[in-house]
Amino acid sequence: MLSTLRNAWKVPDLRNKFFWTIALVAIFRMGTKIPVPGINADYLKEMTQSGLLGFYDLISGGAFSSFSILALGVMPYINASIIMQLLTIGIPSLEQLQKEGEEGRKKIQKATRYLAIVIAIFLAIGVVASLSQKGASTGISSFEYIVVILSLIVGSVFCIWLGDQITVKGFGNGTSILIFVNIISRLPLTIIRLIQLEQADTVTIVQLALFFAGVVVLLAAAIYFSLAERKIPVQYAGKAVGNKVMKGQSTHIPLSIISAAVIAIIFAMSLMGTPEALAKFFPDKDWSVWILTSSYSIFNKSTWMYPVVYALFTVFFTWFYNEATLKPEEMAENLNKSAGFVPGIRPGEQTTRHFEKVVARISIIGGLFAALLAIIPILIEQHSDFKNISFGATALLIVIGVALDFSRRLESQMVMRHYEGFLK
């Protein structure tokens, strides 16, 4: 990878893409340090130590807990993208629009941006109203409230625009690069927190070494599963084109094992974390006390039920998302239209059942691994002295996924320029 980066730097066009990406990311990071006036961010810092709000703070690079003008970051765009993806699965007209090629995808992308702005408006109003109830915005007028809300909305739109610019002028996938940089930017604070725990004799040096060894093992396992694929062999029949006879071809359909892991964990985290987040905003209510402290509450992190339900939700959403996106019936139909077949499997209903079995198996394997990654930080929080550590499965999978995608994009750019030095 390092040799690939070094060789890519020697190509002027790619070097310009690096400069653009670094400059736009630097502008984004500077924006996360500009606070919104009139709001005391100490309340948010307490609530973003863990859970759903902690995840939002992690992918915003600390902008949410410090309540900067980019506090919402790309969260509205991520939520809008997930909603549009689910609507595309459920609404035939949107599904047809997605199949229309580049023009159809542009229309869906445009609708996603508008939906992101709507979500940003609701999030900005909700966060400011909740902070006001907790006394974090005393002494500001109604007009200043509007200015604060507009600052958050404009900041979120600016983040979406920055992501688009990185996509166009950089190596693509700008939103993911922004999230990647935000997660990495929190790494030094996590290391400092671990050192402070050791210095305060909360954990021993042996426990710290075991913790780092465990992180390395999880990282290696996540990389392995991110690269793992279930390859379904496919044979295409020969065709007669004019006077020529095209020979049959053998290939395969690659299915990623954990392609749905990040989405599944986010869904499960949202279901389990939303009641907790609402309870933290209204701590004096009876229902809030029950959610946060009752031994019968599945949303209470100190109970054994929380990780179990979290894991079950993760496995379920992995299966659901794979079934909804891979569509075994459509795969079998498209294969049949292309004069292809799976060796040893009859075309038609048997091929559909075969694809359904494969999708179910990778869903179970991928779901169990995603569930394991999701509950390990919770179990560490419950049964060890490593408290309030910004360490999560979703962040780990996002970092690995973005890094692998960036590597593939960079290599494809090198291949297009007929540079083969990195392949030797």
From the list 113, 131, 24, the residue with the least C-alpha distance to 71 is 131
- 399 assigned to some structural domain: no
Residue 35, judged by CB atoms within 10 A of its CB (0-12, 13-18, 19+), counts as middle
61 Cβ neighbours under 8 A, 6+ residues apart: 29, 32, 73, 181, 182, 183, 185, 186
Task: Average the pLDDT over each of 6-20, 51-65, 232-246, 267-281 and give the range with the smallest value.
Answer: 232-246
**Token pair recorded at residue 130:** 């909740």
Boundary residue ending a domain (169, 186, 203): 186
Amino acid identity, residue 319? W
Q: Looking at residues 113-133, what average pLDDT do you find?
A: 85
Our count of domains for the chain comes to: 2
Q: Are residues 239 and 178 in the same domain?
A: no
Phi, psi of 383 (to 5 degrees): -120, 15
Q: What percent of the chain has pLDDT over 90?
A: 5
What does the mean pLDDT of the chain come to?
Answer: 82
- H helices of 228-348, in order, are 261-281, 286-293, 305-326, 328-337
User: Domain of 141: which CATH number?
Assistant: 1.10.3370.10
User: Which whole number is the average pLDDT over 242-268?
Assistant: 78
Q: Is residue 370 part of a domain?
A: yes
Domain extent at residue 310: 228-389
Q: Which of 118-122, 199-203, 352-356 has the lowest mean pLDDT?
A: 199-203
Q: Global pTM?
A: 0.81
Q: Are 379 and 241 contained in the same domain?
A: yes
Query: For tokens 């509007």, what's the residue?
Result: 146
Q: Report if residue 267 sits inside a domain.
A: yes
172: in domain = yes
Q: What is the mean pLDDT of residues 336-345?
A: 82
Rounded Cα distance between 61 and 33, Å, is 10
Mark whether 383 and 277 lie in a shared domain.
yes
pLDDT 10s digits, 220-248: 888 898 888 888 888 877 665 556 656 66
The predicted structure's pLDDT at residue 125: 86
Same-domain status, 14 and 159 = yes
Give the integer Cα–Cα distance in Å for 266 and 395: 10
Choose the final residue of a domain: 186, 219, 250: 186
Give 3-state DSSP helix, strand, coil % of the chain, rounded to 5. Answer: 70, 5, 25
Q: At 417, is the pLDDT very low, low, confident or very high (cuts 50, 70, 90)?
A: low
pLDDT value at position 54?
77
